[in-house]
Amino acid sequence: MILIAVVVLIFMPLGFYLILRRAPRTSRFVLLVSTDEIARKLVVSAARKIGYGTIHVYRYEDGIARLQQNGDLKMIIIDDSVPQYEAGLMLTMLKDSPIGVRPLILIVDKGEVGQTAPSYRAEVVVSRPLSDRALEDAIRQIHQRLEVLESL
């Protein structure tokens, strides 16, 4: 019994260190609306490299709720794995909403246009096959623009 207590006391700080090290240390987040697990992993990795955390939802209703709850969501990434009408409905609701419009990155199959809803055009379109680098570049492009606007 004493041996178990000693082992727990020795390894408990290591466990807390690993948990804290993995947690994003940021107040900036991207909202990812996607049903694709591979896209989720790539977006999380790319966003983390630029200093963003990721909030992932599967449905547009959950995305709207998260935007209303969290003012630190700086941009939206919508994957075409979410049905097109859902993405369009979410963006139409955002355009007319007091919570405001956020910059949009759209993940699509090659050859699709970046139009998801009337008057809400994607600022950056990333085509499949997805790469960590392409997503990182897209997030960085919007991040740089947001930094300029926030410094004014």
Task: Tell me the CATH number at 128.
Answer: 3.40.50.2300
Instruction: Count structural domains, the chain.
Output: 1
Please report whether residue 14 resides in a domain: no
Segment 81-108 mean pLDDT = 72
Could you tell me which residue, 67 or 91, shows the higher pLDDT? 67
pLDDT band for 6, please (50, 70, 90 cuts).
low
Alpha helices in the chain (DSSP H): 2-22, 37-50, 60-69, 84-95, 132-151
Please report whether residue 22 resides in a domain: no
pLDDT band for 1, please (50, 70, 90 cuts).
low
pLDDT band for 129, please (50, 70, 90 cuts).
confident
Please report whether residue 91 resides in a domain: yes
Q: Which domain holds residue 60?
A: 27-151
Q: Is the confidence at residue 141, as pLDDT, over 80? A: yes
The residues near 59 (Cβ < 8 Å, ≥ 6 apart) are 33, 82, 86
Q: Which two tokens stand for residue 26?
A: 């940021």
pTM, full prediction = 0.72
- Please give the mean pLDDT across all residues of the chain: 76
Please report whether residue 76 resides in a domain: yes
